[in-house]
């Protein structure tokens, strides 16, 4: 396989029912360049990249590589042409180990390759600063670690064009720095083309040579870097977005909606001991820390998905220690997982079928009523989809809106893993508007996020996780992003 010197997308069209996801897209990507693909949620970015990487077929148009038209069907064929994609929700096999997933897709048998493959895995992981245990089941990895595994797997398969969809979600600042340095080296020295789909404009500004912007399925502009955040936001949305003010504390009661009493949590990687926490009605608690530091383990313990080794968990004054997830739900707890299509939604089902699952409490489903309710929810939550749309055909942002529509309107407690993961600035603000409305009604919210600005903006209190230790931020009023970042890195954590 020769080097891909140039990629041309010519008149690409793709429809999902009435939604024209890609409408006459024409783009050229030059070798050795890092290009940001920007746009609001539902703009067509991921669809276009899935077409280029073979995960999605186009209705019409052409792909030219190195001056010649090509046609391929499926991601393996795209990889054979040197194009690989890391999707926002990594595609892996949960029953396989890290090493088995790394080998998966390579030609030949698994057994003779294991030693060589493990050396290659360790070499690539070391280069990027990733910590991947070859023998660990993928089901035990965090989303950030699964993204890391997919990056090194694609590089091992010899891709020459690397497409990354939100690659920095859930990885540390140090890992991101190492990753970006490696991507720059791959572009400059190895003449690779890197396409970065991201809503983190600071990442785009730090890494990219140029950007292309989509809006409602069309290319609306491009820009050489460097550029300011304001310039990029204006190009994406057609206007500058107003600054988001910090939300005031609005805890309605001294009674604890959630109370943790000297709780101990443990898994194969870590133990977190002696966690005590009281969350009042209407209070928002942010959980900060590097990926895999225990935030998600605590959130899942608060909804019955993770059992505590010691201690007690109360919901609205009721001892729920050891109770099942279903029993937690019955007390008015709602949970939002970071993996939308893995735990929150059901691939293959339509929006109407999702609504029917959570609204129908009888064996008989009134489909006319379910469809009408779905249409109402689509309108209320501004979902770009139709009642008959399968959930996997929606963008990540629209899937997140559907998740919000499926949650109860007045839960006692909402426990949310990265509620704005992969969302553009405007969509993230919209999600928080919905959460704050629930908060005004007395719902307590506890959430994790890798976005320090999100944590500082919306949290009444912040709990920092670092190396098995848990500590509450003492001075929220004067907390800066830099100070929070240092705490997450271990500076000033009392051990």
Is-above-0.85 flag for pTM? no
Q: Which residues of the chain have pLDDT under 70?
A: 1-5, 88-89, 107-112, 143, 169-175, 239-254, 490-495
Give 478's Cβ-side CA count (13 Å radius): 2
Give CA–CA dist 248/375, Å, rounded.
34
- Summarize pLDDT for 100-126 with one digit per residue, the tens: 999 887 766 555 578 888 999 999 988
Q: What pLDDT was estimated at residue 358? A: 85
pLDDT of residue 95: 83
pLDDT at 79 (0 to 100)? 92
The radius of gyration computed from the CA coordinates of the chain, to the nearest angstrom, equals: 23
Domains and CATH numbers, the chain: 6-237 (3.40.50.300), 256-332+408-488 (3.40.50.300)
């Amino acid at each position: 396989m020769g080097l891909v010197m140039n990629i041309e997308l010519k008149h690409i069209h793709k429809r999902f029912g009435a939604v024209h996801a890609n409408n006459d897209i024409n783009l050229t990507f030059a070798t050795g360049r890092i290009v940001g693909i920007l746009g609001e949620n539902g703009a067509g970015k991921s669809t276009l990249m899935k077409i280029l990487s073979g995960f999605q077929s186009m209705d019409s148009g052409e792909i030219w590589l190195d001056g010649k038209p090509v046609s391929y069907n499926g991601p393996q064929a795209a990889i054979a042409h040197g194009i690989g994609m890391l999707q926002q929700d990594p595609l892996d096999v949960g029953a396989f180990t890290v090493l088995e997933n790394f080998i998966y897709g390579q030609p030949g048998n698994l057994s003779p390759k294991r030693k060589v493959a493990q050396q290659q895995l360790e070499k690539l992981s070391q280069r990027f600063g990733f910590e991947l245990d070859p023998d660990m089941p993928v089901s035990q990895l965090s989303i950030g670690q699964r993204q890391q595994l997919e990056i090194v797997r694609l590089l091992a398969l010899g891709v020459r064009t690397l497409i990354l969809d939100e690659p920095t979600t859930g990885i540390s600042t140090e890992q991101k720095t190492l990753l970006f340095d490696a991507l720059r080296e791959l572009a400059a020295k190895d003449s690779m083309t890197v396409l970065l789909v991201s809503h983190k404009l600071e990442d785009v500004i730090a890494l990219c040579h140029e950007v292309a912007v989509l809006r409602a399925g069309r290319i609306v502009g491009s820009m050489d870097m460097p550029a300011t955040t304001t310039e990029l936001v204006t190009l994406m949305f057609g206007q500058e977005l107003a600054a988001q003010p910090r939300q005031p504390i609005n805890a309605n009661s001294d009674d604890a909606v959630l109370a943790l009493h000297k709780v101990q949590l443990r898994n194969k990687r870590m133990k977190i001991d002696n966690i005590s926490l009281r969350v009042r009605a209407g209070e928002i608690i942010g959980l900060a820390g590097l990926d895999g530091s225990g935030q998600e383990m605590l959130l899942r313990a608060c909804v019955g998905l993770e059992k505590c080794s010691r201690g007690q968990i109360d919901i609205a004054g009721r001892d729920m220690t050891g109770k099942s997830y279903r029993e937690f739900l019955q007390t008015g707890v709602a949970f939002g997982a970071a993996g939308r299509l893995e735990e929150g939604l059901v691939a293959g089902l339509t929006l109407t079928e999702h609504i029917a699952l959570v609204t129908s409490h009888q064996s008989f489903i009134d489909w006319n009523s379910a469809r009408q309710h779905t249409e109402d929810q689509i309108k209320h939550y501004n979902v770009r989809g139709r009642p008959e749309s399968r959930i996997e055909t929606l963008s990540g942002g629209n899937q997140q809106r559907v998740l919000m529509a499926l949650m109860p309107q007045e839960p006692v407690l909402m426990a949310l893993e990265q509620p704005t993961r992969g969302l553009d600035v405007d969509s993230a603000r919209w999600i928080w508007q919905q959460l704050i409305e629930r908060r005004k009604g007395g719902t307590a919210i506890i959430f994790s996020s890798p976005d320090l600005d999100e944590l500082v903006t919306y949290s009444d209190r912040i709990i920092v996780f670092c190396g098995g230790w848990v500590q509450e931020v003492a001075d929220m009023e004067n907390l800066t992003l830099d100070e929070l970042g240092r705490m997450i890195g271990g500076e000033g954590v009392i051990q």
